[in-house]
Amino acid sequence: MPVFSGSKRSAALLAACLLMGLGLSACGGLDDALFGGGDEESTPAPQSQANAGIGPAPEQQIVGEGAYQAGPQAYAPQPQAAMPGTTITPIQIQGGANTGTAVSTQIAGLRSDLTALQNKLMSNAARLAQLRSIAEKAATYYHDSKARITMHLQIGTTRGNPDLVKEWNVAQAALDTLTSNINALNALGTDIGNDSSRAHFELNTIQATFNVSGAVDEDHRQLSVLEDETGQIIVLIDRLLREVTDDVQRQTTYVANERANLTVLASAIKNGELYGADLGSTMLATGTGEGPAGETALVTIKFDRPDVQYQQILYTAVSQALQARPTAAFDIVAVSPTRGTLAAVQMAQTNAQRHAQDVLRTMTDMGVPASRLGISSATDPSITASEVRVFVH
């Protein structure tokens, strides 16, 4: 698979430029790090060239690989009580008069702890809203770039088109940002889990204070109010934790799926075609023999007549193979005869390759990830018409 981005740092810088609203024009120097055309597999450009003359915008600072940090103006904590993108609204913590008892002093300390806990809750809600905002922008840039790539491939374009490679790097940088976002969400979930433990400890302490001697009726009234308020904050903390957990699961699945889609697009850009890979490419194996390690083919499709209807048989065989081995991968081998003149042999090889491309597209449409599909060509002197053999491993 070709390497499309010059370095992780260049991808991170591109993501920063995009999410800060700078657009592609502010990141144009990244072109030096992009994919080189042709059939040969390209290599990453030297980092010194990829980043020459590029510096982060005044409000940005690159922090390590695959991450970026925005300035204080970009993501300042939101002052409003109900944070956008969340369902967390603070409660009103009531004050109480000092009754002059030792229990009253303890109640004041518990009230202060509860107020600090609620402030931490709202700060975490602000962090979640910020991370959701970043994820929304990254997903928007990702899908915009992916749509432009797909559109150009569908209407036809050149092999290894540099414009599409640039768009591919934009999409990859957006997914890298989403990956960093998932890590930040996991850290946020840990903090919220710690706050939940603190809140339950606070509730236990309040309930235990009811048994302390030397209290007056007003002290017990204030304790009852604190108990109710703590219970409400526990509900809010648990709700926020559920939202973060759901976001982590949803984004993790999303990024994993889109990584596979990017792999398909990388091959498509290299070959200038929306589906499959070029059988004539030097990166694909060509040989003779029965198949991988002499294995028996899962399906053998003989193209000895026009319009061979193989889709249902192929689907059934692939489905059964995946049920037996969910992580199975497949090799698609275009097999051509060797009989006849040189021109006839070459024509047979071309036909076999075309049929293999059709089979690959069919399997992709069936939902088999492109990363699990390999394709090659072979010859067999014993056959009279081209075949496509599918092997499972």
pLDDT confidence of residue 331: 93
Is the pLDDT at 49 greater than 90, yes or no? no
Q: What is the pLDDT of residue 307?
A: 83
Q: Which residue has the higher pLDDT, 99 or 270?
A: 99
What average pLDDT does this structure show over 309-322? Answer: 85
pLDDT digit string, tens, across residues 176-209: 999 999 999 999 999 999 999 999 999 999 999 9
Q: pLDDT tier at 33 (50, 70, 90 boundaries)?
A: very low
Q: What confidence category does residue 63 fall into, taking pLDDT thresholds of 50, 70 and 90?
A: very low
Task: Kindly give the pairing relationship between strand 68-70 and strand 330-336.
Answer: unpaired
Question: What are the residue boundaries of the structural domains of the chain, listed by start?
Answer: 8-271, 292-392
Helix 162-209 to helix 102-155 angle (10° resolution) is 160
Superfamily of domain 292-392: OmpA-like domain (3.30.1330.60)
pLDDT above 70 as % of the chain: 73
Whether 13 has a pLDDT exceeding 80, the answer reads no
pLDDT at residue 124 is higher than 70: yes
Q: Residue 82's closest CA among 127, 124, 133, 125?
A: 125
Average pLDDT for 316-336: 89
Dist CA 378 CA 364 (whole Å):
22
pLDDT at 347: 81
DSSP-derived secondary structure letter, 339: -
**In which element (H, E) is residue 301 found?**
strand 299-302
Which of 17-26, 84-93, 277-286, 349-358 shows the lowest mean pLDDT across its residues? 277-286
What pLDDT shows up at residue 67?
A: 35
pLDDT value at residue 272: 80
> Which position has the higher pLDDT, 85 or 80?
85
pLDDT tens sequence across 217-255:
999 999 999 999 999 999 999 999 989 988 998 888 888
92's CB contacts (< 8 A; 6+ apart) are none
- Of 91, 353, 94, nearest to 237 by C-alpha is 91
Q: Provide the pairing of β-strand 299-302 with 373-379.
A: unpaired
The mean of the pLDDT values for the chain is 75
Which tops the pLDDT comparison, 160 or 46?
Answer: 160
Token couple for 179: 């990956």
Residue 54 has pLDDT above 80, yes or no: no
